[in-house]
Structure 1
Amino acid sequence: MDVLRTPESRFADLPDYPFAPHYLDVAASDTEPVRMHYLDEGPSDGPPVLLLHGEPTWSYLYRTMIPPLVDAGHRVLAPDLIGFGRSDKPTRREDYTYLRHVEWVTAWLEHLDLRDVTLFGQDWGSLIGLRVAAEQEERFSRIMIGNGFLPTADRGTPAAFRIWRAFARYTPVFPAGRLVATATVTKVGSAVRAAYDAPYPSAKYQAGARAFPALVPTDPDDPAVPANRAAWARLGRWEKPFLCVFGADDPILGKADCPLIAHVPGAAGQPHARIRAGHFLQEDAGPELAQRLIAWEA
Structure 2
Amino acid sequence: MSRDILRTPESRFERLLDYPFEPHYRDVDGLRMHYLDEGPADADPVLMLHGEPSWSYLYRHMIPVCAAAGHRVIAPDLIGFGKSDKPARIGDYSYQSHMDWLGGLIEQLDLNRITLVCQDWGSLLGLRYAAENPERFRAIVVGNGMLPTGDQAMPRAFQLWKTFALYSPVFPPARIVDVGSFRRLSRDERRAYEAPFPSRHYKAGARAFPALVPASPNDPATEANRRAWEVLSQWDNPFLTTFSNGDPITKGGDRYMQERIPGAQGQPHVTLKGGHFLQEDSPVPFARAINDLLARMDG
TM category, shorter:
over 0.9
Aligned to 1:281: 278
Runs of 4+ deviating beyond 6 Å = none
Paired residues, number: 293
Aligned to 2:34: 37
2:178 counterpart of 1:181: yes
Cα deviation, residue 156, structure 1: 0.6
Q: Distance in 2 between matches of 1:79 and 1:15?
A: 18
1:184-223, aligned counterparts within 5 Å?
Answer: 184-223=181-220
> Residue type matched to 2:262 in 1?
P
1:172-195 deviations in Å (ceiling 9; x for gaps)? 111111100001111211110110
Contact 1:248 1:255 in 2 (8 A): no
Unaligned runs of 5+ in 1: 28-32
Q: Distance in 1 between matches of 2:273 and 2:65?
A: 20
Q: Distance in 1 between matches of 2:67 and 2:254?
A: 27
Q: Distance in 2 between matches of 1:149 and 1:239?
A: 18
Cα deviation, residue 275, structure 1: 1.6
Q: Normalising to structure 2: TM-score of the pair? A: 0.97
> Structure 1 vs Structure 2: percent identity of aligned residues?
56
Aligned to 1:128: 125
Q: CA RMSD in A?
A: 0.6
Match of 1:224 among 211, 221, 224: 221
Contact 1:217 1:224 in 2 (8 A): yes
1:87-135 deviations in Å (ceiling 9; x for gaps)? 0000000000000101110111011100000000000000000011001
Q: Distance in 1 between matches of 2:259 and 2:146?
A: 13
For residue 274 of structure 1, give the secondary structure of its aligned residue in structure 2: coil
Q: Distance in 2 between matches of 1:210 and 1:149?
A: 19
Q: Normalising to structure 1: TM-score of the pair? A: 0.97
Contact 1:35 1:87 in 2 (8 A): yes
Q: Distance in 1 between matches of 2:11 and 2:251?
A: 36
For residue 271 of structure 2, give the secondary structure of its aligned residue in structure 1: strand
1:96-175, aligned counterparts within 5 Å?
Answer: 96-175=93-172
Match of 1:53 among 50, 54, 75: 50
Aligned to 2:236: 239
Contact 2:18 2:60 in 1 (8 A): yes
1:4-30 deviations in Å (ceiling 9; x for gaps)? 000000000000000010000012xxx
Q: Distance in 2 between matches of 1:20 and 1:297?
A: 25
Q: Distance in 2 between matches of 1:100 and 1:211?
A: 12
2:292 counterpart of 1:290: no
For residue 44 of structure 1, give the secondary structure of its aligned residue in structure 2: coil
Contact 1:246 1:274 in 2 (8 A): yes
Unaligned runs of 5+ in 2: none
> Residue type matched to 1:91 in 2?
A
1:179-222 deviations in Å (ceiling 9; x for gaps)? 00001111211110110000000000000000000000011111
For residue 41 of structure 2, give the secondary structure of its aligned residue in structure 1: coil
Cα deviation, residue 255, structure 1: 1.8
Q: Distance in 2 between matches of 1:172 and 1:218?
A: 23
2:83 counterpart of 1:86: yes
Q: Distance in 2 between matches of 1:59 and 1:234?
A: 28
Q: Distance in 2 between matches of 1:269 and 1:245?
A: 14
